[in-house]
Amino acid sequence: MDSYSEFLTRKAITDPPTGLADVPKLNDALFPFQRDQVRWALRRGRAALWDDCGLGKTPMQNEWALHVPGRVLILAPLAVAQQTVREGIKFGVQVTYARESSASLGKITVTNYEMLDHFDASLFNGVVLDESSILKAYDGKTRTKIIETFARTPFRLACTATPSPNDMMELGNHAEFLGVMSRTEMLATFFCHDGGDTSKWRLKGHAEYDFWRWLCSWAVSVRKPSDLGYDDDEFMLPELVMHDVCVRVDDPTSGMLFPMEASTLHERLQARRDTIEDRVAHCAAIVNASNEAFICWCNLNTESDALVRAIQDAIEIRGSDSPAIKEKRLLDFSEGRARVLVTKASIAGYGLNWQHCHNVAFVGLSDSYEDFYQAIRRCWRFGQKSAVNCYVITAETEGAVVANIRRKEAQAAVLADSMVEHMREIMQREIRAADARTKDAYNPTTPMTIPDWLRAA
């Protein structure tokens, strides 16, 4: 009789591979940990690569697309598309940028998410979501459209540096896009709802190992190569130097009798509006005293306008700019033709590689830790050779916005560590053994019974 452990093994939930049985030789320019991930993802067919900023997701996804049978469409944030083309040239992979199906004639086409309506998904055998975590930034209609559009695409790859381990909806989005399991099924299988005032989804205690095993069957999360058992020699982050600048406020926030910390989101927003001039003046003094490249992140258009007026050599990118203008100005900053860039994290905070710059300033800070993290990581990433200076400029009356970000940062670090710790052993076994196609073992235990009517036939 089977042991109980054998019974549980047969019942374990994993997502079986649907990709290539035999993966051809991959690009020698890739690092070993990158090649093994690409090989694993090609064998998987539908997979997620959650590698931290600077670990080479772009060359990995390009190499993956190169070996997928048939044509591949890469969806990326605005301006990251052109960066994908340039990375392809560096690694000998031809990637064509297009804004509609009629212009996508090559094997690998890259476009930005906003152009999805201009493409016929049936023309492509593979799709890549670059910076796939932005799925949660879209409204439900758009997110559902992306998932449904590629529901029949055989090869699917989702790449991001920051899957939120505490955001089960985001993990569910990835699983649903890849066709592994719907969000509803994932929650019902592995989670229970606390209800009451918390309304949080909590991992079932007895399902913890099964959940991480299931996750590792279709996703890999890497902060540094050693998470997969490789050397970190080429991937060491420089120092991040935080400069907290708190602007003194003598006048009360509009609607208040005395200067005091904001306690609500409405009060915080009003405090930001009332202190734009002082915060911008502090930022301009820092940036104008330097001759180095700088990125100034803001939240309000009025902050952006004031920064451009106050800072020498500054160019601005705002949401109302045309895609062509955004791409040109982002490229001007990337290639050093512009010294100072003023923009928002929602516009340029995802996917771009700016190791040529090691100075950033936040003149407007929201409560989104992910926006803050992504904006810093445009510069503070593997490949950066200098210590990165980060200036966070807030007003006394804004309240605990910085403390809130610090709290979320500490929580995210603990959760990310937990995710990698849970996944490390399984990831190393799966990724480093990618030369052998993985499959669920079939162990029949019940004899087949042939019905009499079939015997008679």
Residue-wise pLDDT tens digits, 267-285 = 777 778 888 899 999 999 9
Residue 442 pLDDT > 90: no
Which residues make Cβ contacts (< 8 Å) with residue 249, sequence separation at least 6?
259, 271, 274, 275, 278, 395, 396, 397
Confidence category of residue 298, pLDDT binned at 50, 70, 90:
very high
Sign of CA dihedral 171, 177, 181, 182: positive
Q: Would you say 384 and 358 are in contact if contact means Cβ atoms under 8 Å apart?
A: yes
For each of the domains in the chain, give its residue range(s) and CATH number, in order of start: 4-234+412-432 (3.40.50.10810), 240-399 (3.40.50.300)
- pTM as predicted: 0.81
Using alpha carbons only, what angle is made at residue 342 by residues 82 and 355, rounded to the nearest 5 degrees? 55
CA distance linking residue 34 with residue 55, whole number of Å: 8
| Residue 179: both structure tokens together | 């066709």
How is the chain split among helix, strand and coil, in percent rounded to 5? 45, 15, 40
Residue 435 pLDDT > 60: no
CA distance linking residue 377 with residue 278, whole number of Å: 27
Give the side-chain half-sphere CA count within 13 A for 345.
25
In the predicted model, what is the mean pLDDT of residues 62-91?
93
pLDDT tens track for 231-251: 998 899 999 999 988 888 766
